[in-house]
């Protein structure tokens, strides 16, 4: 809105204020319909129901939620929901989340999620989708969990791995870097006693930490709201982010301790080898294709902290690193993500998906094979196998934003992404 508002801006602002007062907000916060298909200790696997007018086909996508964050990170609001985007595109979409963390869960460590929760979810999703391999997408700590699982259990039916905003080198995190010299000088005894006494990191502390990670935005939010009072989309996004922050979940005590000592204090992920429950996980064991996203204004996981994982994936089929606009949450479900992050994800998944014709017919002929004549049964698979070898994946559109893995977007403004500039060398 201009310093001296125009008549149409005043009218829009008045309409937005009236809508917020009368209806409680501008954002469409309806969750996408979903069905629980599997559960266990701190494990809930959901299948998002396909829309009636769209037939769901192709390999399934599984979204991995980080600890402490609610699953609405993937379904923030209508039109800014990664789940909605995939469902409308006809992709079988699943999500694993963990429910509420309480004091009784204080003895659960990272191994619970790396050894049990995420691997079991991958198996369930693959089975529910007819035995297809799974495209795993993890955000923040969910991306770290997914990476450790892919390295530790290479036999899992994983088609590709996508890591979104996951810091693998905490030295590059401005919020943490000043504290690391102090942490090295102490044994962490005080911190250990505190989180053991509380059973972990409680929800109010987690919520406050997330808010402080973008401290300048907190201070400027009232003024920014006034400036955008005529922008219904901007106001709706703020409402959705506020709801997300208000629904933060606690960290269990032992897991918080492992993150503090191994990741924060000793920066174990930077070496590419992490000890989980007595056995070492080496990221070099990952062989599936890996797509890595960093947000150009992410204060929790800055670009260098995320990019640190790339040289650790020495044996992956392909590693692609992309810089997209947005902060820690905005890069995933911000307004600009619809034209950047999601475009790259679509292309990546299409590139590494199994063609429908090579898998679906194999499930039907089993009972009918005996009744059919042998020659007819032989010709059909042979013909389809040839088709599968000719075009195993959809050809990528190199004009799409982020489709060139050599291209980098270092601009702090998302407007730089709209310019067709030559790739950096």
- How high does pLDDT run on average in the chain? 78
- For the cut 70, the answer to whether the pLDDT of residue 176 exceeds it is no
Task: Report the run of H or E that residue 143 belongs to, with start and end.
Answer: helix 141-152
Q: What is the percentage of the chain residues whose pLDDT exceeds 70?
A: 71
pLDDT level of residue 91 (50, 70, 90 thresholds):
very high
For 139, the enclosing helix (H) or strand (E) is strand 134-139
pTM above 0.85?
A: no
3-state secondary structure of 405: coil
CA dist., res. 18 & res. 262, Å (int): 50
Does the pLDDT of residue 308 top 80, yes or no?
A: yes
> Please, is 125 exposed, middle or buried when counting C-beta atoms within 10 Å of its C-beta (0-12, 13-18, 19+)?
buried
Q: pLDDT: is 212 or 355 the higher one? A: 355
The string of pLDDT tens digits covering residues 60-73 is: 999 999 988 889 99
pLDDT score for 187: 52
Provide the pLDDT for residue 299.
87
List the one residue out of 296, 226, 225, 300 whose CA is nearest residue 263: 300
Domain ranges of the chain: 31-202+250-353+395-418, 357-390
Instruction: Summarize pLDDT for 337-392 with one digit per residue, the tens.
Output: 999 999 999 999 999 998 874 444 334 433 434 444 444 444 444 433 333 333 34
* CATH topology for the 31-202+250-353+395-418 domain: Rossmann fold (3.40.50)
The mean per-residue pLDDT over the stretch 292-320 comes to 96
């Amino acid at each position: 809105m201009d310093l001296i508002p125009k008549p149409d801006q005043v009218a829009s602002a008045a309409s937005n204020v009236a809508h917020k007062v009368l209806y409680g907000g501008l954002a469409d916060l309806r969750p996408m319909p979903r069905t629980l298909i599997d559960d266990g200790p701190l494990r809930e696997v959901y299948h998002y129901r396909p829309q009636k007018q769209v037939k769901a086909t192709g390999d399934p996508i599984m979204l991995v939620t980080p600890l402490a964050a609610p699953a609405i990170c993937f379904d923030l609001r209508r039109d800014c929901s990664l789940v909605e985007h995939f469902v409308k595109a006809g992709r079988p979409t699943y999500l694993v989340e963990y429910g509420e963390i309480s004091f009784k869960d204080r003895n659960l460590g990272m191994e619970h999620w790396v050894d049990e929760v995420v691997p079991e979810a991958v198996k369930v999703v693959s089975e529910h989708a007819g035995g297809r391999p799974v495209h795993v997408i993890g955000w923040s700590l969910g991306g770290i969990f997914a990476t450790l699982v892919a390295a530790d259990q290479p036999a899992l039916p994983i088609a590709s791995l996508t890591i979104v905003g996951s810091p693998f080198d905490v030295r590059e995190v401005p919020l943490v870097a000043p504290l690391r010299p102090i942490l090295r000088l102490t044994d962490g005894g005080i911190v250990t006693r505190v989180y053991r006494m509380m059973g972990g990191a409680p929800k109010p502390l987690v919520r406050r930490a997330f808010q402080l990670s973008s401290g300048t935005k907190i201070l400027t939010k009232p003024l920014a709201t006034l400036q955008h009072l005529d922008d219904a989309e901007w106001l709706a996004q703020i409402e959705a982010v506020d709801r997300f922050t208000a629904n933060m979940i606690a960290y269990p005590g032992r897991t918080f301790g492992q993150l503090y000592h191994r990741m924060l204090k000793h920066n174990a992920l930077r070496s590419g080898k992490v000890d989980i429950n007595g056995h070492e996980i080496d990221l070099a064991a990952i062989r599936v294709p890996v797509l890595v996203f960093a947000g150009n204004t992410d204060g929790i996981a800055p670009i260098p902290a995320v990019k640190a994982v790339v040289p650790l994936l020495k044996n992956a089929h392909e590693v692609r690193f992309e810089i997209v606009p947005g902060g820690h949450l905005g890069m995933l479900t911000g307004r600009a993500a619809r034209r950047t992050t999601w475009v790259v994800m679509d292309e990546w998944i299409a590139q590494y998906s199994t063609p429908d014709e090579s898998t679906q017919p194999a499930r039907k002929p089993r009972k009918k094979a005996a009744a059919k004549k042998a020659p007819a049964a032989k010709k059909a698979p042979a013909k389809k196998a040839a088709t599968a070898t000719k075009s195993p994946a959809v050809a990528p559109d190199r004009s799409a934003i982020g489709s060139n893995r050599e291209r980098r977007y270092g601009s702090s403004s998302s407007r730089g992404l709209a310019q067709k500039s030559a790739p950096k060398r």
